[in-house]
Copies of this chain bind each other. A is one copy, B any other.
Amino acid sequence: MEKTAVLDALAALAQPTRLDVVRLLMQAGPDTGMAAGDIAHALDARANTLSANLSILLNAGLVRKERIGRSIRYYPEIETMRGLLGFLLEDCCGGNPALCRPLLDTLTDDCPPQKRDRRDDHQH
């Protein structure tokens, strides 16, 4: 991931409403998403303000949108999030490999292994 893309993503996430938006969309799921109006209602934000914030998230590649009927649905972009996390990890990994593994291990502990079938690994 390019440095400028990382900076865009960080700036996009560094605002309360926008951080809430991506969390909300992540919870909704990458294939479900939410309509702009529902997001506004859930976060108690004005339509035009939220629209501006969604546009910033869109520009940063953290969400994508799709028109459905008269509403516009927003979905989280998992790949961009992954790219961002990867970049931040590289800061430790690349520079000081000894730091990388324990950090990842700790992170992984917070997220217990799911019982997953092997066959749905190629989901993306």
Q: State the A residues within 8 Å of B (CB).
A: 3, 6-7, 10-11, 13-16, 19, 22-23, 26-30, 78, 81-82, 84-86, 88-104, 106-108, 110-111, 113-114, 116, 121, 123-124
- Give the complex CA separation of A16 and B91 in angstroms: 14
Within the complex, which residue of B23, B27, B91 is in contact with A23, where a contact is CB–CB below 8 Å?
A: B91
Within the complex, which residue of B3, B27, B78, B114 is in contact with A101, where a contact is CB–CB below 8 Å?
A: B114
The copy count of this chain in the complex is: 2
A49 CB to closest chain B CB, in angstroms?
17
CB contact under 8 A between A14 and B19, given known A81-B92, A89-B111? no
- Give the complex CA separation of A65 and B107 in angstroms: 26
